[in-house]
Amino acid sequence: MPRNLSLRAASARRARIAEEAARILIEEGLTDYGCAKRKAALRLGEGEHGQHLPSNQEIEQALSVRQRLYAAGLTREQIQKMRQVACGVMRFLLPIQARLTGGALTEIGPTAAEIELHVFADPPELVAFRLLDAGIDYDLTERKLRFKGAEPSLPVYRFEEAGWAVHLTVFKPDDIRQSPLSPVNGRPLQRIGLRVLEGLLEAEMRAGHCQVPELALPPRWLICK
């Protein structure tokens, strides 16, 4: 087979596996790109350690396309509402510092419809006390995040607010200076603080696109009025 045809065939295999991996991430709720690509390769008869496995970046591209084509992604209005809820939660948690990350910020990813906040508290139970004082029911789980040279298990408080799933992953206060690494490209995860988020929302409000969702949190924490 000519070299250019061989390269095209390999590229087509990677694209097919990436598309199947994206489907698995969305439909089965997986968050591990490596697991999804191996599962996809096995289903397509390529073998989980085949030479045609796509990169995490290729899977993310396929995921973004699938979300947009099959309405698995979010509309601009939904993104605005998620950011409003995130802003309300971040204000509610003060003086505990928080950073917005995940799909509500980047608008892509298998958990795009979840509001992910990195929260910095020592001890982590300070977050639980804050939620309990407000009468917010939560579930407590753990997740592993990767830093350079470490992969700690961190507590995650999960609850619902205004119809959205909110995940608060609790870090030590010093970790606010170092973002964990993305499982996709190995780079630090994007995340923004309250002031930057307020700026985004204020810009939307000036443009006439800001709509306040119904929050159970005290209304004084809202930015759009």
Per-residue pLDDT of the chain (225 residues), as tens digits, is 444 446 666 777 788 888 888 878 876 667 788 888 888 888 887 766 666 788 888 888 787 776 655 544 567 777 888 888 999 999 999 999 999 998 788 766 555 568 999 999 999 999 999 999 988 999 999 988 888 878 888 999 999 988 889 999 999 999 998 888 877 667 888 899 999 988 888 877 666 655 555 455 554 444 443
Residue pair 118/99 in contact by the 8 Å Cβ criterion: yes
Residue pair 101/189 in contact by the 8 Å Cβ criterion: yes
The structural domains of the chain, with segments of one domain joined by +, span 3-69, 76-221
Residue pair 81/211 in contact by the 8 Å Cβ criterion: yes
Residue with tokens 């804050």: 130
Q: What's the rounded Cα separation, in Å, for the pair 164 and 191?
A: 19
Task: Report CA 1 to chain centroid distance, whole Å.
Answer: 42
CATH number of this structure's domain 76-221, picked from the four choices 3.30.460, 3.30.70, 1.10.1760, 3.40.50: 3.30.460
- φ/ψ of residue 140, rounded to 5: -110, 120
Q: Provide the CB-side half-sphere exposure for 143 (13 A, CA).
A: 19
Considering only CA atoms, which of 70, 81, 136, 121 is closest in space to residue 104?
Answer: 81
- In Å, the largest CA–CA distance within the chain is 69
What pLDDT shows up at residue 141? Answer: 93
Question: pTM, whole model, 2 decimals?
Answer: 0.66
What pLDDT shows up at residue 221? Answer: 46
| Peptide bond between residue 95 and the one before it cis (omega within 30 degrees of 0) | yes
